[in-house]
Amino acid sequence: MAIKPLDGVTVVSLEHAIAAPFCTRQLADLGARVIKVERPEVGDFARAYDTRVRGEASHFVWTNRSKESITLDLKQPEAVDVLMQLLADADVLVQNLAPGASVAWACLLKPSAPVTPS
């Protein structure tokens, strides 16, 4: 198998809908390991846009191929600890949270690396 440009890069993504999932799908296609963090029970709401692919939305399946997925309730301290462990080993964080939500989560990030606002 050919080496891809992003082999060895780990991406953690707090994503939903289309923009961030499409972005991280491109990163996965280029070889990155992408870990998608989803909400408990409902996950990414885009799963339910239609039911064409084994009960899931066709565009959800298309934009989320080649990714790993984990469900975390980020309102729980234990889940935040898991997210922090994932981020400690990640090279990239992608998010498309609601305006202001990323500011709330930024306070959790360790100052060991610069944080670039989205």
In a domain, 26, yes or no: yes
In a domain, 115, yes or no: no
Domain that holds residue 97: 10-106
In a domain, 111, yes or no: no
With 0-12 CB in 10 A as exposed, 13-18 as middle and 19+ as buried, what is 75? Answer: exposed
Strand partners, 14: 37, 95
Q: What pTM value is reported for the model? A: 0.85
Q: What is the chain's Cα-based Rg? A: 14
The number of folded domains in the chain is 1
In a domain, 32, yes or no: yes
CATH number at residue 44: 3.40.50.10540
pLDDT in tens, the chain (118 residues): 799 999 999 999 999 989 999 999 999 999 999 999 999 998 888 888 889 999 889 989 999 999 999 999 988 889 989 999 999 999 999 999 887 776 666 655 555 555 555 5
Residue 101's pLDDT is: 75
